[in-house]
Amino acid sequence: MAYTVLARRYRPQTFDQVIGQEPVARTLRNAITSDRVAHAYLFTGTRGVGKTTMARLLAKALNCEKGPTPDPCGKCESCRRTQEGDDIDVIEIDGASNTGVDNVRELRAGAIYAPARSRFKIYIIDEVHMLSTGAFNALLKTLEEPPEHVKFIFATTDPQKVPGTIHSRCQRFDFRAVPTDTIADYLAKLCKKEKVNAEPDALRVIAREGRGSVRDALTILDQAITLCGGDIQLGPVLESLGLADSERYFQMADAVAAGDVSESLRLLDAALAEGAECGEVLDHLLDHLRALLLVRTVGPEAPGLEVTKEERAKLVEQAARFTEDALAVGLELVGDTRYKARNVIHNRPLVELAMVQLARMPDFASIRETLARLDAGVAVAPGEESESAGGAGGGASARPARGGAQGGEKKKTPPLTAGETGRRAEGDLSPGRAEPRPEVTPEDGGPADRNGRAPDGDVRPMTRAEQEAVRNDPTVRRVLELFGGRIVGMRPATGQEEA
């Protein structure tokens, strides 16, 4: 007898057996119990999360000889035929292969006839978003007012491509990605049924590689059982999947934190030499940076942090070496590289460039000071204090500070408020309107800027060279790119044109 893969052998046969989609299952059960079953449903979600399985379960529940019932018997001819996928009254259509208007016309012609032996004639259209515009239009009238004996169940991984006119005629259910812990527990139960020994960490890696898809995780588990001969261990699983141990990504993050370009590239080369694809390396590096950011911003118990206890402790220690801004920029950089790498055949140079950029990434701990610099047009380094008259500036004159500060007093740029930071993040680099700055006239010691507001007391005019240095500063350029900002103006030194 031919071998049946785990994903098919353990396909759920009741609503209670579906994992990770309890809200959908509960709603459908209640609809059947209260006799409020709609004529059309739209199931959306990523691959392998139970859309087609739920559609078959609903068909079984409606056509079971004991039904309609939320608990189909699974033994009558209708249940068995629906389960096997060859029931004459449950028509499964592949939307990717039947995309034209003629296919929909055939469906409409058959829908007017009563079911052969069941209570309802049920059409399950998988990947419905692949239908053409003409096919969708041809389906509209039948979908809006179908015969009483007809039910439609649509499934799609891309609901944005389904026209709004279809959405409005269906009850929509969004199937979520199944959590890693839920998949890992499910795999452990299946291993017991299959009499297979499995290390918990190995099952967790398999569940994590499923990326929320139960079917993908079961496929990997099938492969692992074949490889390990009934004794699933972490090492062989990592090797078979072409994955590096998570320790390598901790080492990569250490190299990035230390600014060690050569070590970063060496670790990347080692991962690729062991069989990992460039895309896989980027995916796992993205996951690692995300975990670091969650720990840095929320704490070690951050929701959605799918790691072991040992990894959690390491993340807490490593996250202290980064700032939140640096991790956010690193995530953006790796994410952009992952997107670009999908469209390039030889994508290793892109990955190497990303590692170099990460290792040479500037310190983004002073983003607020950099934004304040841009606003004020100051060319001095963040944190430096300007010197007033009589100070160590070699006799250079200085304008009075805002609020009347005089003499040798030094004044630092005040920290930005949340409102000011938000306006700068949106590209508005003008001073915050919540706290307007007083106007300063030439009689007060200095000309007003072009917005009618005077600069802070510690601001000095900029030379052309300094203006150019600010524009070309890698930190400034990266901040503007990150927040979508722009330089709207700088105050030049006396006798120079305004930039």
What does the DSSP assignment read for 220-238? HHHHHHHHHTSEE-HHHHH
Tokens of 434: 């919540």
137 and 22, same structural domain?
yes
Is 428 domain-assigned? yes
Helix (H, G, I), strand (E, B) or coil at 173: strand
253 and 201, same structural domain?
no
Is 409 domain-assigned? no
Is 308 domain-assigned? yes
146 and 32, same structural domain?
yes
The whole-angstrom separation of Cα 16 and Cα 9 is: 17
191 and 310, same structural domain?
no
112 and 44, same structural domain?
yes
Is 395 domain-assigned? no
Query: Which long-range contacts does 340-349 make (Cβ < 8 Å, 24+ apart)?
Result: 341/278, 341/279, 341/282, 342/279, 347/278, 347/279, 348/272, 348/278
154 and 54, same structural domain?
yes
141 and 57, same structural domain?
yes
Domain CATH for 107: 3.40.50.300
Is 450 domain-assigned? yes
450 and 489, same structural domain?
yes
The whole-angstrom separation of Cα 101 and Cα 243 is: 45
Q: What is the β-pairing status of strands 171-174 and 90-94?
A: unpaired
Tokens of 73: 């018997």
The residue range of the domain holding 447 is 367-385+418-499
Tokens of 262: 């050569």
39 and 142, same structural domain?
yes
- Which pLDDT tens digits describe the chain residue by residue (499 residues)? 578 888 888 999 999 999 999 999 999 999 999 999 999 999 999 999 999 999 999 999 999 988 799 999 888 888 988 888 888 999 999 888 888 888 888 888 888 888 888 899 999 999 999 999 999 999 998 898 889 999 999 999 999 999 999 999 999 999 999 988 899 999 999 999 988 898 888 898 888 888 889 999 999 998 888 888 778 888 788 777 755 567 888 999 999 999 899 999 999 998 888 777 888 889 889 989 999 999 999 888 887 777 767 778 889 999 999 888 889 889 999 999 998 888 888 889 999 999 998 988 755 545 566 666 666 655 444 444 434 333 333 333 333 333 334 444 444 445 444 444 444 444 444 444 444 444 444 444 444 444 444 444 445 566 777 777 777 777 777 777 766 677 766 655 555 444 4
Q: Which residue has the tokens 């060319």?
A: 379
The whole-angstrom separation of Cα 337 and Cα 345 is: 13
Which of 154, 174, 194 is at the close of a domain?
174
Q: How is residue 121 annotated by DSSP? A: E
**Contact (Cβ atoms closer than 8 angstroms) between residue 121 and residue 84:** no
Phi, psi of 305 (to 5 degrees): -90, 100
Amino acid at 490: M
> What length does the chain have?
499
Residue 237 CB neighbours (<10 A): 25
Domain CATH for 220: 1.10.8.60
The whole-angstrom separation of Cα 244 and Cα 235 is: 10
Q: Which residue has the tokens 């103006």?
A: 489
Please count the structural domains in the chain.
4
Which of 121, 142, 174 is at the close of a domain?
174
pTM over 0.75: no
459 and 353, same structural domain?
no
The answer to whether the peptide bond before residue 146 is cis (omega within 30 degrees of 0) is no
Is 65 domain-assigned? yes
Domain CATH for 346: 1.20.272.10
Contacts of residue 11, defined as CB under 8 A and 6 or more positions apart, other chains included, come to 53
Residue 347's alpha-carbon distances to 340, 351, 352, in angstroms, are 8, 7, 9
470 and 332, same structural domain?
no
Handedness of CA 79, 84, 88, 92 (dihedral sign): positive
Is 400 domain-assigned? no
Is 70 domain-assigned? yes
The whole-angstrom separation of Cα 292 and Cα 278 is: 21
378 and 490, same structural domain?
yes
